[in-house]
Amino acid sequence: MRIVVVHNAVSAESAPDEQDVLVQTDAVSEALRSLGHEVTTLPCSLDLATIKRRLESLEPDLVFNLVESLGGHGRLIHLFPALLDTLGLPYTGSKTEIIWMTSHKVMAKRHMRSAGIPTPEWVGPYPQDLASALSPNPPSSADGSAQSWIIKSLWEHASVGLESDSIVNKAPGKDFHRELSKHAPRLGGACFAEEYIHGREFNLSILAGPSGPQVLPPAEIVFEGYDTSRPLIVGYRAKWKDDSYEYHHTPRRFDFDSEDEVLLTTLKNMALRSWQVFGLRGYARVDFRVDDTGQLWILEINTNPCISPDAGFAAAVDAAGMDSTQAVDRIIQDGMMHPFPHTIAAFPPN
């Protein structure tokens, strides 16, 4: 096939998380060429008229969508697949509506809640009237003491702005709006607070296949050497700052004891249910927390997650006994099988 790999435009001044899309582009292009496809790569900016003309002139059979932001804003991620929908071009990964919903983390949490999928309580988003932004049953301690919250970006991915000082300890009230406003500038201008779940962290990757979605081997993030002064979070430093303590002390593991067998099965089933409830396509990753009582919570649904060779998705592919070329082939085959927009399930399947 004639395949165009489109990624968000980056510059030499772009942050490491943005620069990583070039690594993904090279890896995907190499895999596609090894499969015998004709490959062209294109950067995409906010100048959608230009990318539209380029695509029309190239007449691709398929677009491999690696656009993670536009103009440096994750909240615009859905604009490029929306353009592909209007052009009638098949493309890889999840479709416009699903990308838009899952990128807005509070909207995704509301959809999870309506489908009976466990997700931590939240306050926000900011900026918005706080009274109308509270989740249905925000937690409150019986003695009125402070609770632990983690303040996250509403739209941005790659743990942008997420560090140890993102944890705040206070009860939600009128002054919580002020707390969110203080963190918002480094979080893309919009944020929310999520109940901090102390416990284990798991990532489950899912890959489309000829027999349906396959949940790849679960990965656990191990917080090595973390004492009480460090919250158990995978922040920006852990992902992108290779000279940091966090980067070198948060490895992932795929080997588990037999006592985790029931938990791992439950995680796989919940990841698959998330795929079905959200109408995901191609490939995805679901991030979990398991608290000290064994209760699991879904933190985020990641459509089109990072597929760089050193990323978690690639590690899960390897743990499943596949290579990156096989995974890329599955992704493009799924893109050709589901070429048209797919609406989010109004009612979750049984």
**Do 188 and 156 meet the contact criterion of CB atoms below 8 Å apart?**
yes
Name the class of domain 2-93.
Answer: alpha beta
pTM of the model: 0.90
Confidence of residue 252 (pLDDT cuts 50, 70, 90): very high
Q: What is the pLDDT of residue 129?
A: 55
> What CA dihedral angle connects 223, 229, 232 and 236, to 10 degrees?
-90
Q: Residues with Cβ < 8 Å from 114, sequence gap 6 or more? A: 348
Over residues 151-209, the pLDDT tens digits come to 999 998 756 667 777 888 877 766 777 888 888 888 888 999 999 999 999 999 999 99
In a 10 Å sphere around its CB, with 0-12 CB exposed, 13-18 middle and 19+ buried, how is residue 331 labelled? buried
Tokens (6 digits) for 24: 């993904």
Q: Which fold has domain 198-337?
A: D-amino Acid Aminotransferase; Chain A, domain 1 (3.30.470)
Over residues 56-67, the pLDDT tens digits come to 999 999 999 999
Q: Where are the chain's structural domains?
A: 2-93, 119-195, 198-337
Lowest-confidence pick of 29-33, 213-217, 239-243, 247-251:
239-243
Type of residue at 40? T
Confidence of residue 227 (pLDDT cuts 50, 70, 90): confident
Pairing of β 252-253 and β 219-221? antiparallel
